[in-house]
């Protein structure tokens, strides 16, 4: 799925002041391409990711997925698009604490109305090596295991775009490396476009292209050597 980002900007009103988080961001991501968005804290990386996913609305500019502008869709339309086409991996895992690992993976499948949610979720848990932990709740899993559950959930609906926000941010280096390896393997098998927000230089260097943000603006964009 091709992603076109055109003159994207986001600002918020705090009291009398207007705070610009993102300004004049433009780039494109081709189908199957892997892109890292890097930058210091507060540079607007996560906001950009949220806008690409349609989780938030830009103040100016457009995000187009295969030519369809997200701003032309209403909130439910964007949600449906996410459900059909996107997978998510978050820094804080975003697993629902009341559900087991299996149930967390089943969630997007159930939302899609899939009757085979249990089987498909079980398969994906097996792929991330957590079949034995299927009945455990998030609090009973290590950070690495929780992120693997999140990966299984993200890939369970066969997304055409995978959006990852600091996927190794909460993990030690070794576990982080394992998760990255797993994420790239799974993505390769699916052929999805991958956009990763990260501080991690090693992770960024595994992506085909890096986009550097600073103060909400793109300061550099380059192919990874």
Partner 1 sequence: MIALAFRLLAREWRAGEMRVVLLAVALAVASLTAVRYFADRVEQALGHEANTLLAADLALVSDHPPDPEFARAAAARGLRVTRTTTFLSMVLAGERNLLTGIKAVEPGYPLRGDLRTAPTLFAADAPARGVPPPGQVWVDSRLISGLGVRPGDSVEVGNIRLRIAAILTFEGERGGNFMALAPRLLLNDADLARTGLVQPGSRVVYRLLVAGGVTENRARVAAFQAWAKPRLARGEKLEDVRDARPELRQILDRAQRYLGLAALMTVLLAAAATQLALRRYVQRQFDQFALLRCFGASQRRLFGLYLLQLGGLGLLAGALGSGLGWLAQAGMVHLLGDAIRLGLPPPSLLPPLLGLATGMLLVLAFSLPALSRLARVPALRVLRRDLGAPPAGALIAQVAGLGVVAGLLFWQAGEVRLGLIVGGGILALMLAAALAIQLLLWPLPWLAQRLPTGMRLGLLNLRRRRWETTLQAMALSLGLLALLLLTLVRGDLFESWRGQAAAGAPNRFVINIQPEQVDAVRAYLTGQRVADVTLYPMARARLTRIGARAANPDDYENERAKHLIEREFNLSSMDRLPPDNQVVAGVWSSRDGISVEAGIAQTLGIKLGDELVFDAGGLPLSGRVNSLRKVEWDSFRVNFFIVVPPDALAALPQSFITSFYLPKQRGAVLAGLVSAFPNVTVIDVEQVMSQLRGLLDRVSAAVQLIFLFSLAVGVLVLLAALYARRDERAREIGLWRTLGASRRRVMLALATEFTALGLLAGGLASGAAAGVAWLLAERVFELPHTPDPAIWLAGLGGGWLLVTGAGLLVSLKLLREAPMISLRRE
- Sites of contact with partner 1 (CB under 8 A): 50, 53, 55-57, 75-76, 79-84, 86, 88, 90, 92-94, 96-100, 103, 107-108, 110-113, 115, 138-139, 142-143, 146, 157, 170
Based on CB atoms, which residue is closest to partner 1, 116 or 185? 116
The minimum distance between CB 76 and partner 1, in angstroms, equals 4
The minimum distance between CB 66 and partner 1, in angstroms, equals 16
How far is the C-alpha of 157 from the C-alpha of 124, rounded, in Å?
A: 10
The minimum distance between CB 138 and partner 1, in angstroms, equals 8
Based on CB atoms, which residue is closest to partner 1, 55 or 177? 55
What token pair was written down for 79? 């949600």
How much of the chain is in helix, strand and coil states, percent to nearest 5? 40, 30, 30
The minimum distance between CB 220 and partner 1, in angstroms, equals 26
Residue with the two structure tokens 């982080």 = 176
Based on CB atoms, which residue is closest to partner 1, 108 or 210? 108
Based on CB atoms, which residue is closest to partner 1, 52 or 186? 52
Instruction: Pick the closest to residue 126 from 155, 97, 98, 99 (CA basis).
Output: 155
Q: Which residues share a beta bridge with 162?
A: 87, 194
DSSP letters along 177-214, please?
A: HHHHHHHHHHHHHHT-EEEEEES-HHHHHTSSEEEEEE
Based on CB atoms, which residue is closest to partner 1, 28 or 92? 92
Q: Furthest-apart CA pair in the chain: how many Å? A: 54
The minimum distance between CB 208 and partner 1, in angstroms, equals 25
């Amino acid at each position: 799925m091709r992603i076109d980002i055109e003159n994207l900007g986001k600002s918020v009103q705090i009291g009398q002041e207007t705070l610009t988080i993102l300004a004049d961001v433009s780039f494109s991501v081709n189908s199957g391409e892997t892109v890292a968005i890097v930058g210091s804290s507060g540079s607007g990386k996560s906001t950009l990711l949220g806008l690409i996913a349609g989780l938030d609305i830009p103040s100016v500019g457009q995000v187009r997925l295969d030519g369809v502008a997200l701003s032309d869709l209403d909130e439910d339309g964007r949600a449906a698009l996410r459900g059909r086409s996107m997978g998510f991996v978050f820094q804080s895992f975003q697993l629902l604490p009341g559900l087991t690992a299996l149930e967390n993976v089943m969630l997007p499948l159930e939302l899609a109305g899939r009757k085979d949610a249990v089987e498909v979720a079980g398969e994906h848990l097996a792929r991330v090596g957590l079949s034995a932990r299927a009945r455990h709740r998030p609090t009973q899993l290590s950070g690495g295991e929780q992120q693997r559950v999140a990966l299984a959930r993200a890939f369970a609906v066969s997304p055409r775009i995978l959006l990852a926000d600091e996927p190794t941010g909460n993990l030690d280096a070794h576990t982080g490396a394992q998760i990255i390896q797993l994420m790239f393997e799974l993505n390769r098998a699916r052929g999805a476009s991958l956009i990763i927000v990260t501080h991690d230089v090693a992770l960024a260097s595994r992506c085909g292209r890096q986009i550097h943000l600073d103060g909400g603006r793109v300061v550099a964009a380059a192919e990874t050597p």
